[in-house]
């Protein structure tokens, strides 16, 4: 599909990878709706990018709110043919920590935001995409998950986070197989260490240390690089049912 024909919903769009995807897609001529729980930051990001971008506040863990948001985005853009799931939380913590075992509610919250939130957005977007007019390949839309290298080399303290990111990679193929009947592709991207707001808040020394762990290029990933991969996936229809690592060849150590 031509990126200029994209009608994209980007969750977690107020900052980080989501904001980077929204900014890049808009620069390439796509229509974009940013979705985030942070209303003030989301509205500012949308306004900074320009008139081709709109913002809708939504908690991705709330099914009815997600369905309403997807419908509102489709109404505003004349449909949806691309969903990029960037909403998520880190949820770092040891299972057996200094203050006792990890609370089950903490683990559950990470699952709700990262995994169930993505599933709810997938479901709501796909329900609308199935009614799109197909292109010459019979394609009607694309869903993209943000997994992580932590899905494969989770570090100490990432039990909850890694579980969700592995699950996002794991449900990519079964969803791709099911949605093939509707001409909807499903892909996951597993980024390594990227320059997100969380990393940006670290000291230059810590950022340099993280960058030094990446074989090549020896620097943190940029949100635009993630966004450029989103564009490539959107324009190459044979990419389906797979997780692509975007990590500079890093393999994470235990801690």
Catalytic positions are 161
138 secondary structure, DSSP code: -
Are 87 and 12 spatial neighbours (Cβ–Cβ below 8 Å)?
yes
Backbone phi, then psi, for 168, in 5-degree steps?
Answer: -65, -40
What gap in Å lies between CA 40 and CA 45, rounded to an integer? 9
Are 160 and 107 spatial neighbours (Cβ–Cβ below 8 Å)?
yes
The token pair at 52 is 């081709």
The token pair at 202 is 């670290």
| Residue with token string 């389906």 | 240
Residue 61's H or E segment, with its range, is none
């Amino acid at each position: 599909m031509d990126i200029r024909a994209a009608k994209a919903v980007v969750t977690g769009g107020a900052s980080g990878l989501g904001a980077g995807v929204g900014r890049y897609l808009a620069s390439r001529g796509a229509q974009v709706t940013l979705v985030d729980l942070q209303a003030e930051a989301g509205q500012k990001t949308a306004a900074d990018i320009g008139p081709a971008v709109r913002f809708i506040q939504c908690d991705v863990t709330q099914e009815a709110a997600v369905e309403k948001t997807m419908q509102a985005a489709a109404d505003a853009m004349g449909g949806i043919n691309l969903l990029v799931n960037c909403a998520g939380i880190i949820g770092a913590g040891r299972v057996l920590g200094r203050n006792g075992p990890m609370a089950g509610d903490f683990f559950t919250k990470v699952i709700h935001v990262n995994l169930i939130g993505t599933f709810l957005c997938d479901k709501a977007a796909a329900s609308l995409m199935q009614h799109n007019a197909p292109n010459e390949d019979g394609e009607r839309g694309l869903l993209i998950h943000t997994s992580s290298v932590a899905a494969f080399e989770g570090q100490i303290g990432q039990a909850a986070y890694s579980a969700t990111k592995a699950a996002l990679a794991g449900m990519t193929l079964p969803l791709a197989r099911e949605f093939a009947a509707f001409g909807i592709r499903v892909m996951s991207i597993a980024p390594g260490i990227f320059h997100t707001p969380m990393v940006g808040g670290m000291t230059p020394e810590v950022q340099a240390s993280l960058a030094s762990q990446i074989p090549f290029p020896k620097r943190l990933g940029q949100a635009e690089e993630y966004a450029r991969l989103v564009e490539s996936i959107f324009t190459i229809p044979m990419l389906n049912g797979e997780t692509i690592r975007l990590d500079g060849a890093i393999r994470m150590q235990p801690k």
